[in-house]
A and B are shown apart, each in its own frame.
Chain A
């Protein structure tokens, strides 16, 4: 059994240690908010936080996580940065199909937690790993800036 801390809860899973966290979340723990997009850390749809750092869960072996804290889209609203980002996403009506947005929100929340007042270059650097096919990038940039203004 592998013991995990997911969104503050202790979870145990009986899976191979090399299984990527993405599939543990989606197919074993039934937490489907974290999305599969590419499987090779190119698109960012599967982004989660490990001790607050954004990580692509599609390539992260579940056995490598240990006691570090996993935060997913289902839990990010409980963090100050996550709540600000979620609100800004709705205020700016960022979302279209929404499939990539779990990952976008996770990357943006990690950015704001680490750098409360990011400039355009910071935003580009933090968000360039998250692809959106609907093309919501302009609004993502605006929403992150707005979220950063909220004290």
Chain B
């Protein structure tokens, strides 16, 4: 892989009748590219390339271009997907180049979601077999083409480094020389796949393909695009959710040098200028009166009063095993409720979208986890047919679920409709945080009973928003009103418990829009479950690790992870005063992870992280270094939320606006994080969101071990942890 793969036209074939290429030179001379295949026409002209499917294109110069069915937002998926394809294709790794996919649910739909979507830590899980089969079929076609030319049996040929070899006659043919012949071979339906033991790329710590350009400023994010003649805009939507624009006095804004246009829409105001500075100055100079609407009195208190009441009601049953009434009637009972707040995503790249709308065309530059959805959003906003919307994806400066939404595409396109020429709409950080679609508040109520030191009954009710109901209503309907996301890691506990009852109460918070946030449903479930398991261990008089071990007999992969994490963390060894270790076990996203956090609680109640150790069995780790990086980063993401994260509402408005009041962890607050990857030949699990879910309960449990104070609400309440002076 050459470092310029994302940013030059060198990776592209010459235009043919089935493909077309658009390049445009920006004001700064950087070349932007948009390479598109018409849906259903992935195969290119056989004289220029062998393109057996939507994922692979072998050029005459030997370049193997892989079209990325999932988006790169830092999680390393471009490298992992490329490794899977190149492995089964036996492509020469150094000649592999990657390309952002065009919008197409049909060609690039995620097999789990049935649409072009990157999320739920499932890129590798969902595409593992489809990509292997796809690449293996392509390889078989190349082999068949060579065998035919040599008049030998295909089974006597082998492949490696983008060549077909025939050892008996000592002949070789490069894939590049088989393009035309292979294009005439019919794709086999069930091509043989490699044995795990024969993998050359998968399972090795490969260098990432996207990182060289990220060290020198060349990597192109959507916020960086500069189509010729682009203007710059920034916007303000009504700060009260659901409110509308009232009166706008733009007299002062028009005086700001560089301001070109004021765009007033029903729900937002934007200022267009020669650069972002002019737009921002102009926006600040506007005098806007809002029609705040029905939500003007909503506050955090309103939200929690409503949710707490809802959480006391019976819910829809998500799981019922054994006899819960009988289970809860035995032994000693314990009840607890856990609460988590609204959270913003705060991706480092603020939301941005560039659009150029004319009477009969719309071109959009964006970073999206759902490119085909984004294209439809632009079509809806303009009234143009979908095929008239040309949309380009980019590297994402963080996703975390925020770029699963297309609200910012809708807003940018509606602004662009009023502007002559392309306009780049960039959110200020304040707008990015105040117009987010938030991780919902949840309240989890759990009751359990203990007999002979074991859990014999477990009743778990989750109350909160259903993101499915808005985001994938068909699935929500299919599940008959149970939000599959909210109960995900609740219905699938790691432990062997005989009587389990899980239910869901849907309670949509007033005013505040809710969406997926890294870790999704399990980020709430794992905090509640693993905190409560610790409380039960205490009640049973058992060590938290020992207590969990006793219930993992039927879950050897989780047990192995727990044993390894406990050993590596020195579980049980002495610690200084007001320091403690906490453990958490989780099995969501088909990965088996145990985490031990060592934390110190200072006299003023602040918490210092001392050490973090995780052990993970994620099946075959496609790129083990990425597995480690995702756990390290995910832990920090989750711990930022546990230690600081909370969006609060007053008068219908979000009160936070930037990194000064929406705090995230900084380098000086983060200790060493050791990740131990357990070798496995099982199918790969998901990894991108797992660390996020591991952090909060392990921290809460460490704080309990250090102080005896049980925190059942996030973020942590330092006032409860301050040393009491007697």
Contact = CB atoms under 8 A, between A and B. Distances in A.
A35, A93, A94, A135: residue with the most chain B Cβ atoms closer than 10 Å = A135
Contacts of A135: 632-637, 665, 670, 691
| 8 nearest CB pairs, A to B | A33-B217, A30-B28, A97-B74, A135-B636, A99-B397, A98-B214, A135-B633, A96-B74
A39 B275 contact: no
Given A99-B221, A123-B667, A42 B658 contact: yes
Interface in B411-428: 426, 428
Nearest to B220: A32
Contacts of B659: 38, 40, 42-43, 131
A95 B429 contact: no
A20 interface: yes
Interface of B: 26-30, 73-76, 207-208, 210-212, 214-221, 223-224, 226, 232, 257-258, 274-277, 280, 346-350, 395-400, 426, 428-429, 625, 629, 632-637, 658-660, 664-668, 670, 672-673, 691
B226 A105 contact: no
B146 to A, nearest CB: 36
A40 B428 CA distance: 10
Contact of A32 (B28, B277, B350, B625): B28
A45 B658 CA distance: 14
Nearest to A96: B74
A133 B346 contact: yes
Contact of B429 (A24, A38, A86): A38
B232 A27 contact: yes
A129 B33 CA distance: 34
A19 B74 CA distance: 31
A19 B277 CA distance: 6
Contacts of A97: 73-74, 347-349, 395-399
A111 B205 CA distance: 29
Contacts of A26: 224, 275-276
Contacts of B672: 138
A37 interface: yes
A42 B397 CA distance: 17
B207 A90 contact: yes
A131 B665 CA distance: 8
Interface string A91-123: 001111111111001000000000000000001
18 contacts: A16-B277, A20-B277, A36-B223, A40-B658, A43-B348, A72-B217, A94-B211, A95-B215, A98-B395, A99-B349, A130-B667, A133-B664, A135-B635, A135-B637, A137-B666, A137-B670, A138-B632, A138-B670
Contacts of B74: 95-98, 134
A37, A102, A123: residue with the most chain B Cβ atoms closer than 10 Å = A37
A39 B429 contact: yes
Given A20-B277, A123-B667, A139 B428 contact: no
A32 to B, nearest CB: 4
A15 interface: yes
Nearest to A97: B74
A14 B684 CA distance: 55
A136 interface: yes
Contacts of B226: 30, 32
